[in-house]
């Protein structure tokens, strides 16, 4: 491998000749061989750095035109566009497990943009700190990158996935209207319910999760940029925070504003915790929905078997013909991961000491993994399972009319205690509720038929 010599305030460093990063990135690359190639800083963060560095250059050009010249702005913007597109991802090698402020990832962005910008300009025009990092600090850029990436992940990935599955469930409601089945509580038989009503519970859960995620967005759309090192805005021109938020908004098409209190913005990660709580709520509801679906589809002969789901792949290496609810299983595993991530996010956010939180990379890593996994998991579940859910009307009808909890309909006519006696006798002697009720003398056959209509119990 060929190398070139770069330098920083600590001296000279050998850097791979074909990479745009420089001394500080290389030091981090060498000093933190932890999860290399596996737990790289999320690409969503790299993408967000491209956005915020271009926005900072635009704001500096407006407020400090003598320092951020037209030529420098053009070079930085060109390099940032490539960072945003992902075409320079190979030049961002750093791992999550580095400094807790994300300083080295900020410098990675500064160095890559400076070196690529110089290449675009055809001359040594840009300095990583003096130009690309102008009016900024790692302490305000990394939390800004966290918020930008979180907003993009929720609005562009998670919400559309929720909407897709919600639309499928709405269709399933309409298609299965009028089918009455046995309800279940505590995994035990309960009073009847329409299958469409059961599906509506799933749909409304997703709609509520969506509302909660949307409610978290205004907090995430506040940016720390402009607070610099400790929140005072040292070395940033007056109005930089407002201008840079405007530029981020224009670049993303989403309305970001500057954080009112930069001291809070640098040290507290409460907005991330709140938003991840909504992701955890979504994970919890997806766990419930997936479990309901696989319970209802259990069988095909010895389970509930009240619905059928698509058969996507063989389910066993030893049992021929076995098919498993694998899409439900991936959803439940993703849900467990998101719930674990929520603990990590909360713990990381609790570690703000004085003017800075220094657990930001792990906080961002877990948040973005949760958003990414949920979006992809929900779409996979929708496309490979939910769209093909079909009611087994015969099995639903059989289970409904075999349920002892239909006896609840008799409460107004024979009372709770006599209804309980009827149910227990029917179960003990393996006879119908009608036979039990009549034999106990509580109702005549004619009267029983008059008052007992399971389909009307919904």
H/E run at residue 199: helix 195-220
How many Å apart are CA 342 and CA 335, to the nearest integer?
11
Half-sphere exposure of 215 (CA within 13 A, CB side): 10
CA separation for the pair 140, 227 (Å, rounded):
6
- C-alpha separations of 394 from 44, 82, 305 in Å: 49, 58, 10
Residue whose structure tokens are 């909504």: 278
Let me know if 47 is a catalytic residue.
Answer: no
Measured from the Cβ of residue 336, the count of other Cβ atoms closer than 10 Å reads 12
List residues bridging with 13 in a β-sheet. 6
Catalytic residue, chosen from 87, 215, 316, 439, is 316
CB 332 within 8 A of CB 295: no
Q: Is 186 one of the annotated active-site residues of the chain?
A: yes
Q: What angle do CA 195, 197, 199 make, to 5 degrees?
A: 70
Distance of CA 326 to the CA centre of its chain: 20
Q: Can you tell me whether residue 275 is helix, strand or coil? A: helix
Rg value, the chain, Cα: 30
Cα distances (angstroms) measured from residue 382 to each of 196, 300, 332:
17, 21, 14
Place of tokens 């006599």: 418
The pairing of strands 390-391 and 3-8 is: unpaired
> By three-state DSSP, how is residue 303 classified?
coil
Supply the DSSP symbol for 307: E
Q: Which residues are catalytic, by number?
A: 186, 316
């Amino acid at each position: 491998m060929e190398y070139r010599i770069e330098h920083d305030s600590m001296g000279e460093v050998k850097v791979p000749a074909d990479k745009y990063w420089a001394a500080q990135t290389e030091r981090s690359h060498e000093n933190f061989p932890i999860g290399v190639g596996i737990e790289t800083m999320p690409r969503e963060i790299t993408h967000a750095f491209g956005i915020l560095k271009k926005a900072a250059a635009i704001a500096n050009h407006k407020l400090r035109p003598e320092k951020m010249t037209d030529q420098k702005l053009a070079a930085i913007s060109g390099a940032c566009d490539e960072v945003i597109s992902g075409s320079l991802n190979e030049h961002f090698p750093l791992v999550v497990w580095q400094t807790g402020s994300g300083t080295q990832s900020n410098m990675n962005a500064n160095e890559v943009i400076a070196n690529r910008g110089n290449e675009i300009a055809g001359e040594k025009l840009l300095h990583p700190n003096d130009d690309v990092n102008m009016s900024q600090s790692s302490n305000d850029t990394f939390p800004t990158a966290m918020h930008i990436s979180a907003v993009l992940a929720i609005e562009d990935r998670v919400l559309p996935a929720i909407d897709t599955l919600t639309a499928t469930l709405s269709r399933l409601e309409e298609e299965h209207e009028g089918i009455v089945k046995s309800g279940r509580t505590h995994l035990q038989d309960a009073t009847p319910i329409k299958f469409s009503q059961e599906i509506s519970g799933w749909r409304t859960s997703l709609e509520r999760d969506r509302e909660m995620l949307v409610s978290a967005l205004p907090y995430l759309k506040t940016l720390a940029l402009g607070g610099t090192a400790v929140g005072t805005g040292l070395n940033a021109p007056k109005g930089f925070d407002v201008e840079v938020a405007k530029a981020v908004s224009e670049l993303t098409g989403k309305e970001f504003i500057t954080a009112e209190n930069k001291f809070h913005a640098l040290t507290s990660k409460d907005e991330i915790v709140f938003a991840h709580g909504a992701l955890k709520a979504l994970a919890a509801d997806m766990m419930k929905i997936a479990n309901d679906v696989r319970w209802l589809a259990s069988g095909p002969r010895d389970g509930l078997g009240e619905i059928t789901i698509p058969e996507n792949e063989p389910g066993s290496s030893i049992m021929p013909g076995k098919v498993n609810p694998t899409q439900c299983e991936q959803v439940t595993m993703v849900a467990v991961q998101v719930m674990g991530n929520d603990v990590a996010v909360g713990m990381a956010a609790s570690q703000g000491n004085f003017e800075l939180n220094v657990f930001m990379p792990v906080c961002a890593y877990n948040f973005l993994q949760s958003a990414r996994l949920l979006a992809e998991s929900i779409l996979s579940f929708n496309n490979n399972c939910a769209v093909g859910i079909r009611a087994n009307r015969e099995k639903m009808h059989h289970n409904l009319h075999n349920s002892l909890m239909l006896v609840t309909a008799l409460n107004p006519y024979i009372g709770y205690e006599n209804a309980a006696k009827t149910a227990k006798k029917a179960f003990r002697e393996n006879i119908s509720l009608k036979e039990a009720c009549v034999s106990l003398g509580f109702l005549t056959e004619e009267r029983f038929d008059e008052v007992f209509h399971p389909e009307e119990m919904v």
